[in-house]
Structure 1
Amino acid sequence: MSEQATEQQIREAFAAAPPIVLAPGPKGPPTQTPPAPSDVWELPGGTAWVYYAEGRDRLTRPVILSDGFNVGPSNIDMLWQGLEWGEYAFFSELRHRGHDLILLGYDERSAPIQQNAEAAIAAILQAVAMREGDHRLAVGGFSMGGLVTRYALTKMEHERVDHQTGLYWSYDTPHRGAWIPLGLQAFAHYSRKLNDGFSNQINSPAARQLLAWHLAEWDGKPRVDELREQFLAELERMGDWPAIPMKIGVANGVATGQGNGIKPGDHAVKGRGLTILGTNLYAQRGGDNQLVANLRLVTPPPAKEVRTDDLPEIDGAPGGTLEGFGILADKLNALPPIFGLKTNAPIRHHSFVPSVSAVAVRGVTTDADLYVDIDGLAPETSELDDFRLASQNQPHTLMTAELGGWIVEQIENLG
């Protein structure tokens, strides 16, 4: 252990620092203030911030946009920063074309998808009740938000509730599962004795439903969590997808099968400080008995090993990326040097939502599926009616003119 700090001091430093949270989007606080909403709807388990179209004073052409996975309540400022104040002003473009925005947020973004779907159902019913005219709704969301709204619409149809939705859309949504490297998951649980926030995120209901492989403990076996199995079974029982609206989706990954350049087995994270020396995380390698992590915190060496069997080489797969390794290193390096947690991240990012998952064409359990040439597949391979992929692998939910503009055009086609 570091001679400079005790375990109790390190624990207190962890508790005082911002939590380690794996999430996409801007790293810093918003630099602008979003406009005041035209209306705010309080929903069961959530909130809808309503912005009428330019020049309008009432709801006529509603577009519901659901927030995605994170920890804690949705933040309207962060939604605007991530989806409006970047390369492509998605919100402004929709409002300029005469569409009303209904930004759907949740009291707890890591709650079960079914729970947050109740807020989505309430928002849909409220939009139908308040809308003037008979223009059909466009309903969808970003990342997990696409699953929340998919479940909500499917449930409404199963229960014969008229959702009056003409278009369902998803933006880099993990329809076939998402991926957090098992070394990162193991570190989250191994470091629980110092601070349990990271572990709690990985073990949250929503994370357990999203992840194709989940670790509940650092020394556990990666598996499909029972909450994910239950969620998928519920969807299948109700029809799996909404049948009435047209279904579209986009992926922040490429269609060509070209990976993001991460080589299996490469060093992703290296512990350098005395407190964390011996901790090493590696990019996922296929085959049996593959080392993905050495774990050591505070206690003397040797480090504990985490090994996997028969997993695909998914870190480098084409798809929307997350800076999971980089986020961990940055959070540890933000702590004062006296605590001995200096960490390097030779690899900052990893595939988070593989392209095949975002456009629902293949599963994520084999290299053959993950790296398939989607352009070479028949269109009916996808469970979506239409989809678009990015021209390069890019950060998960990055709003671009290429993808956001295509969704706007599809919404315009509603009339």
Structure 2
Amino acid sequence: MNHDCGTPYRRLHHSPRERGGTHLRRTRRAGGVLFTVPLRSGGGRAPDATWPLDGGRATGTAAVYYAEGRADLRKPFLFADGFNYGPSDLPALFDFFNAPDEEGRPGLFDQLRSRGFDVVLIGFDERHTHIQHNADVAIAAIHRAIAERLGSEPLTVGGASMGGIVTRYALAKMERDGTDHQTATYLSWDSPHNGAWIPLILQQLAYFFEALSPAEPSQAALIRSPAAQQLLWTWVPDAKYSGGVATASELRKDFVHELADLGDFPRRPRLLGVANGRGDGIGRPLPAGQIAFDWQALIASATARFQPDRGTEQRIGGMHAGLEMRRSTTTEVPAMDGAPGGTLDSFGMVADALKVEISEENRSGTFVPAVSAAALIFDPIAWNVEPDLNLLDQTPDRFHLHDVAFSPENLPHGAVSGTLVGWVLDRLT
């Protein structure tokens, strides 16, 4: 029973078929932080070299994996870690992106290494801090790569998820400052160029129930972080939100304006992007406004609905604990959960934290919409775009990126598949 008690040249590429399977090496969420995408830790391939990175306002580490048969840097491929809480685990990141998409075929990074690229993974000591601060860490990595490189091969620079935004900002800032980044190609992997989405009701639930699960960091720690506020198109500051059109954090507004002042994207490199979502406008079959899970206990309850498709004061769910109760609604917010894009098992994470049953088909919703990963040109604050727009029908001048690969299916955010790996290798080699 539901109570809703808290209720420049641009060419797009779409691979026609999947080459190999999707390989995901994720675990369930570790610790108390919700909405993270943990990789398997406690292992991973050790790098050939490591570089300490000091950006001034933030610090990090680069893990260097030289090209096959070499022990020096000649053709750097710099790839930054993405959105998460705490420090990067670069060996685990290497293993995730290097997992074979089919048996007997090397992974992405080993295929790059066999083609002469040196893989340099950029990690951050605080992935959840301000994007501008970690961009300074990425700039330090670019300077180190140029200093270490033998010869004059240009760099390839990019990253996964937030890492693509960090390096986008870093390269644009270097150009603004008159610094030669010597980068010929920029590559983002399912990066939220126009923002990411975590359901508003789930953000509220994370705040509301974190007191019932006393962990440090708390369940809502990632939502409160500067990085989340800068990346999320809609952000909830506390458990009390309910009402009109969801708005961005002031941190996001400031960051978007800073990027615009830098020209939005770097101008010198070729701009490539990978989207884990489909490009044809077909999303996941999540019924807008219907219940994702409903938990009832003697002194507490929680209901979460998939985001309704616009409308006025639409119920999105609610929660209560003891005498405290919330009923949540939204107005004119599109049905984002089923939009085409890279997915996250956000509903499943919250349900697991509450120990409530949830069907497998209800666990995951859209995290990085395809219109965001493809860097479609629209207002990233107002979001004056339909999230299920058929991107394959759009003209090249509607995109910031020069070339985009879409997945044939809506895959988990950051997923590595044969189609996407093949496309990247074709473009880089």
TM-score class, shorter: 0.7 to 0.9
In the alignment, what sits opposite 1:380? Answer: 397
User: Which amino acid in the other structure matches residue 233 of structure 2?
Assistant: A
**Number of the residue aligned with 2:230:** 209
2:412 matched residue in structure 1: 395
Deviations 1:58-96 (A, max 9, x none): 000000010001000001243134212252611111111
- In structure 2, which of residues 198, 202, 218 is the aligned counterpart of residue 180 of structure 1? 198
Secondary structure of the corresponding residue to residue 232 of structure 1: helix
8 Å CA contact retained: 1:30, 1:81: no
C-alpha offsets along residues 365-405 of structure 1, whole Å, 9 cap, x if unaligned? 66952111111111121111111101011101101111122
Report the equivalent of 1:251.
275
The CA distance in 2 between the partners of 1:214 and 1:42, in whole Å, is 33
Contact 2:47 2:65 in 1 (8 A): yes
Query: What is the SS of the residue equivalent to 2:328?
Result: strand
What residue number does 2:187 align with? 169
Residue 59 of structure 2 is aligned to residue 36 of structure 1: no
Aligned mates of 2:353, 2:97 — CA distance in 1 = 24
Paired AA for residue 85 in structure 1: A
Runs of at least 5 residues in structure 2 that lack an aligned partner in the other structure = 1-29
Give 1:305 deviation, angstroms. 0.5
Residue of structure 1 aligned with 2:118, choices 100, 108, 111: 100
- In structure 2, the CA distance between the partners of 1:147 and 1:202, relative to structure 1 (3 Å rule), is same
Report if aligned partners of 1:166, 1:245 keep a CA contact under 8 Å in 2. yes
More displaced stretch, 89-98 vs 173-182: 89-98
- Is 1:308 aligned to 2:330, yes or no? yes
CA contact (8 A) 2:45 2:92 kept: no
- Is 1:53 the counterpart of 2:77? The answer is no
Contact map agreement 1:362 1:370 (CA 8 A) in 2: no
Is 1:320 matched up with 2:342? yes
Alpha-carbon deviations, 1:288-332, whole Å to 9, x = none? 1011121123x158x420111110111110000100011122233
Which structure: greater helix fraction? Answer: 1
Q: Distance in 1 between matches of 2:41 and 2:256?
A: 36
What secondary structure, in the 3-state scheme, does the structure 2 residue paired with 1:320 have? strand
Q: 1:227 aligns with which of 228, 251, 264?
A: 251
Moved more, 310-319 or 358-367: 358-367
Contact 2:33 2:220 in 1 (8 A): no
Q: What is the rounded CA distance, in whole Å, between the counterparts of 2:138 and 2:383 in structure 1?
A: 33
Identity of aligned pairs, percent?
39
Give the Cα–Cα distance (whole angstroms) in 2 for the partners of residues 220 and 263 of structure 1.
23
State the TM-score, normalized to the length of structure 2: 0.85
Number of the residue aligned with 1:76: 90
Q: Is the 8 A contact 1:117 1:148 kept in 2?
A: yes
Q: How does 1:113-192 map to 2 (within 5 A)?
A: 113-192=131-210
Q: Which amino acid aligns with 1:38?
A: D
The answer to whether the 8 A contact 1:253-1:394 is kept is yes
Cα RMSD (Å) of the superposition?
A: 1.9
Find the partner of 2:366 among 342, 351, 360: 351
Could you list the per-position Cα deviations for residues 187-237 of structure 1 after superposition, in whole angstroms to 9, with x for gaps in the alignment? Answer: 111123334612221110000000001000111353111101111111111
List per-residue Cα deviations over 1:19-53 (Å, max 9, x = no partner).
13212355xx358x333211100002110000100
Aligned residue number for residue 4 of structure 2: none
State the one-letter code of the partner of 2:45.
Answer: P
Structure 1 residues 284-299: aligned runs within 5 Å: 284-285=307-308, 286-297=310-321, 299=322
Is the deviation greater in 201-210 or in 364-373?
A: 364-373
Report if aligned partners of 2:78, 2:122 keep a CA contact under 8 Å in 1. Answer: yes
Q: In the superposition, relative to structure 1, how do residues 394 and 176 fare at CA in structure 2: closer, same or farther (>3 Å)?
A: same
Q: Which residue of 2 aligns with 1:109?
A: 127
Q: 1:312 to 1:55 in 2, by over 3 A?
A: same
Please give the per-residue CA displacement for 1:133-185, whole angstroms capped at 9, x wherever unaligned: 10000000000000000000000000000000000010000001100000111
C-alpha distance in 2, partners of 1:391/1:275?
45
| Aligned partner of residue 294 in structure 1, secondary structure | strand
Identify which of structures 1 and 2 has the higher relative contact order when contacts are C-alpha pairs closer than 8 Å and 6+ apart. 2
Aligned equivalent of 2:101: 87
The CA distance in 2 between the partners of 1:275 and 1:400, in whole Å, is 45
Counterpart Cα distance in 1 of 2:343 and 2:173: 30
The code of the aligned residue for 1:219 comes to K
Q: Deviations over 1:250-291 (max 9, x none)?
A: 110111111111110111122144454x31000000211011
Structure 1 residue 239: Cα displacement = 1.3
Write the distance in 2 (CA, Å) between the matches of 1:127 and 1:307.
50
| Kept in 2: contact 1:25–1:82 (CA 8 A) | no
Paired positions, count: 382
2:333 counterpart letter in structure 1: L
